[in-house]
Each structure stands twice: as structure tokens, then as C-alpha cells.
């Protein structure tokens, strides 16, 4: 099931849309050496008209299986954007597809999910890869705390920056 929004209803009032898009739906044909989608794209979105565009805001999350770009170890990574927000035009080249009374937001969510993927996933921020054995006494190198969203390196950052343009 694609994510379809009834524009007639939306004209009357904002819609709250919660659900999941299966991997086959939102990541169809996606191929990457290091990253695979392993969970549906969960979305919890508020959608309303903003002038002649759609304003879409809310939560997107899914789960990835990655291979570390340095040591190739396989690990799971939650991809979560709690403050996803986008203005989607209904006309012009960038317009979301319209089918009758419905706007299809599947490809929009797909594109933004793909933009947010890590290009060089790391099993941990200070992974040293296969070639170099980390010397135990080398404590000066980098004192990074275990991976956490607070380090500002969320894979969604790329998306956030795009939205600021
Ligand atoms: Zn690694």
C-alpha cells in the first residue's frame, strides 16, 4: 500500500497519518554495498496545506543492517528522524504524484529516507578497521563516548542540512 493522502479531506482539515511502509514499497530497487533496509518505514506524520503545498511533519523511523565501512562487521542501526519536516509542492517538476484526489507520498518518503542513509557506516565512532590493531596504551587518540545521538553524527544530518537550503 502506497501512502496516499486524500486532498479533498486535507483541504478541510489537517490529517494525522500513522503507519508503516514495507521495505518492498519504499526501498524498491535500492541497492548498496554497505546498507540494507530490514524494517518497514514507520511514519507518524501531520499533514496539512500550506498555501498550495503540503506541509508534512513528524516522525520517520526504520532499521538498517549495515556493514562497517572500515572493518566490515555487520551491525544494526536505527534510523530515526523525530523532527522530519518538509514542504511538498503539488505542482511543477518537484511535485508529488497526484492520482485522482490523492497525493502519493511514498516516493517522497523514499527519497528522504535514502538521503539520510550513512554513506560510510561505522560499527562504532572510533572503529580502527581491520588493518590497524589498536594499541591498548594509545589512550590519547580519541576519547569518544559510546555512540549516541548526542554526538551530532546522526545519519539524518545530511537530510536536515538539505532541508535548510
Ligand atoms: Zn568497524
- Sorted by sequence, the CB contacts under 8 Å of residue 160 that are 6+ apart come out as none
The pLDDT, as a whole number, for residue 161 is 56
Residue 137 counted as domain residue: no
Q: How many angstroms does the Cα of residue 104 sit away from the middle of ligand 1? A: 38
Residue 60 counted as domain residue: yes
Q: How many angstroms does the Cα of residue 162 sit away from the middle of ligand 1? A: 27
Residue 142 counted as domain residue: no
Residue 36 counted as domain residue: yes
- Which residue from 10, 24, 26, 12 is spatially nearest to 98, judged by alpha carbons? 10
pTM over 0.75: no
Full residue range of the structural domain in which residue 21 is found: 4-125+149-163
C-alpha–C-alpha distance, residues 127 and 134, integer Å: 9
Residue 20 counted as domain residue: yes
For ligand 1, an ion, list residues with CB under 5 A. 68, 70-71, 73, 123, 127
The pLDDT, as a whole number, for residue 157 is 61
Q: Which three cell numbers stand for residue 117?
A: 542513509
Residue 54 counted as domain residue: yes
Residue 139 counted as domain residue: no
The pLDDT, as a whole number, for residue 56 is 97
C-alpha–C-alpha distance, residues 50 and 11, integer Å: 10
pLDDT tens series, the chain, 165 aa: 789 999 999 999 999 999 999 999 999 889 999 999 999 999 999 999 999 999 999 999 999 999 999 999 999 999 999 999 999 999 999 999 999 999 999 999 998 889 999 999 999 999 998 865 555 555 554 555 455 445 455 555 655 555 554
Task: Domain count for the chain, please give it.
Answer: 1
Amino acid at each position: 500500500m502506497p501512502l496516499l493522502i486524500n486532498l479533498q479531506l486535507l483541504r478541510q482539515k489537517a490529517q494525522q497519518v500513522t503507519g508503516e511502509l514495507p521495505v518492498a514499497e519504499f526501498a524498491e530497487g535500492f541497492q548498496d554495498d554497505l546498507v540494507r533496509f530490514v524494517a518497514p518505514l514507520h511514519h507518524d506524520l501531520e499533514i496539512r496545506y500550506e498555501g498550495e503545498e503540503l506541509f508534512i511533519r513528524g516522525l520517520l523511523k526504520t532499521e538498517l543492517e549495515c556493514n562497517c565501512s572500515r572493518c566490515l562487521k555487520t551491525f544494526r542501526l536505527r534510523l530515526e528522524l523525530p523532527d522530519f519536516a518538509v514542504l511538498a509542492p503539488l505542482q511543477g517538476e518537484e511535485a508529488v504524484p497526484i492520482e485522482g484526489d490523492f497525493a502519493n507520498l511514498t516516493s517522497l518518503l523514499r527519497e528522504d529516507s535514502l538521503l539520510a542513509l550513512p554513506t560510510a557506516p561505522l560499527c562504532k565512532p572510533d572503529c580502527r578497521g581491520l588493518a590497524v590493531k589498536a594499541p591498548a596504551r594509545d589512550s590519547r587518540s580519541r576519547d569518544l563516548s559510546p555512540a549516541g545521538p548526542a554526538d551530532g553524527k546522526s545519519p539524518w544530518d545530511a537530510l536536515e542540512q538539505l532541508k535548510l537550503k
